[in-house]
């Protein structure tokens, strides 16, 4: 039987994985990690060794209609890694080829599990239900182990409104922690965190004072995710100043992700009907790491660096840390 994106999605649904993995992006990743493309038969599935960039290339070349025919751009690397590959590892579908390499390193390669390969090979065969049950049992066991391990690697962080959240001590986690503990109190004092991008997806924080705003924000982002394919544009941290009606959009750029002109425009189009007063802040670990991205940073935005926490860099514009919709 010929490989199809819909059948791959149905297989992920049969595995009863998290609903956030029920999308084309995850289905494509699962297929290319088993060596499949648009002209393959399911029984041709086999183990592979791929990095994230390899996966993007394999999807774009093997499935020309992927992402509405636009393919996946290099700036989706972090989304694919964090939103699909890491959850696949947690469920036993993939594994890191060399555990000695950091999971966030560009050198890391991933290999498909025997159970996933066998499940794909069994499509339309009598053995499908047996292979499905085997992988579901493995996934359940791996999730339990993975969750315990993650809890040991998380740092408690107190938000400005005294709520405690847990942040990973790997990848961009330390940068996000500094944003919450240092940048927000100093430059956005009085604001409340409405949402944060986590390993489990975008998490919303509804507080009594900002409950309506949070509900509106969640509805806008949910609508964007349904219409914009598999490339979410929301930032890592979204905070709201209820008194000023200002929405702070904050991106933690550890290896990827900034507010360039295209992303800034898309967020303005998405959010301004409800939140007209937007402030964009891209955060880096240092000015050295900022240099790579400086040519692409959008004007009329701000930059904050972790190793100089008392300063904010202003990229032109006649407003400093205030929305351009206000007089």
Q: What is the pLDDT of residue 225?
A: 61
**CA pair distance 6, 307, nearest whole angstrom:** 47
* pLDDT tens track for 204-239: 887 777 778 888 888 887 776 654 444 567 899 999
pTM: 0.60
CB atoms within 10 A of CB 284: 25
Query: For all residues of the chain together, what is the average pLDDT?
Result: 86
**CA pair distance 181, 188, nearest whole angstrom:** 11
Q: What is the pLDDT of residue 228?
A: 47
Nearest to 267 by CA among 255, 257, 254, 280: 280
Q: What is the pLDDT of residue 142?
A: 79
**CA pair distance 245, 263, nearest whole angstrom:** 22
Q: What is the pLDDT of residue 229?
A: 46
Q: What is the pLDDT of residue 163?
A: 72
**CA pair distance 230, 232, nearest whole angstrom:** 6
CB atoms within 10 A of CB 189: 9
Q: Which regions in the chain score pLDDT beneath 50?
A: 227-230
């Amino acid at each position: 039987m010929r490989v199809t994106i819909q059948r791959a999605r149905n297989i992920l649904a049969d595995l009863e994985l998290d609903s956030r993995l029920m999308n084309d992006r995850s289905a494509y990743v699962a297929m290319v990690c088993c060596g499949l493309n648009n002209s393959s038969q399911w029984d041709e599935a086999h183990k592979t060794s791929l990095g994230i960039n390899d996966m993007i290339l394999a999807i774009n070349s093997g499935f020309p209609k992927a992402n509405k025919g636009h393919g996946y751009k290099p700036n989706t690397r972090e989304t694919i890694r964090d939103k699909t590959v890491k959850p696949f590892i947690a469920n036993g579908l993939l594994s890191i080829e060399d555990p000695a390499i950091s999971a966030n390193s560009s050198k890391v390669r991933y290999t498909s599990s025997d159970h996933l390969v066998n499940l794909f090979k069994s499509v339309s065969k009598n053995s499908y239900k047996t292979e499905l049950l085997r992988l579901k049992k493995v996934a359940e066991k791996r999730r339990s182990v993975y969750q315990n391990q993650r809890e040991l690697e998380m740092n408690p962080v107190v938000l400005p409104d005294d709520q405690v959240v847990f942040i990973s001590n790997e990848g961009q986690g330390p940068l996000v922690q500094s944003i919450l503990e240092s940048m927000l109190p100093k430059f956005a004092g009085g604001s409340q965190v409405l949402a944060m991008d986590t390993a489990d997806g975008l998490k919303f924080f509804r507080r009594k004072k900002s409950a309506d705003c949070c509900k509106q924000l969640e509805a806008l982002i949910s609508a964007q995710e349904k219409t914009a394919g598999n490339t979410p544009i929301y930032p890592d941290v979204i905070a709201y100043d209820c008194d000023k009606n200002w929405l702070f959009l904050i991106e933690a750029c550890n290896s990827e992700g900034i507010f360039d002109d295209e992303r800034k425009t898309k967020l303005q189009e998405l959010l301004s009907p409800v939140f007209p007063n937007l402030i964009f802040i891209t955060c880096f670990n240092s000015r050295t790491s900022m240099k790579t991205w400086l040519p692409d940073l959008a004007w009329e935005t701000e930059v904050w660096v972790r190793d100089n926490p008392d300063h904010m860099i202003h990229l032109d514009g006649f407003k400093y840390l205030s929305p351009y919709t206000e007089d």
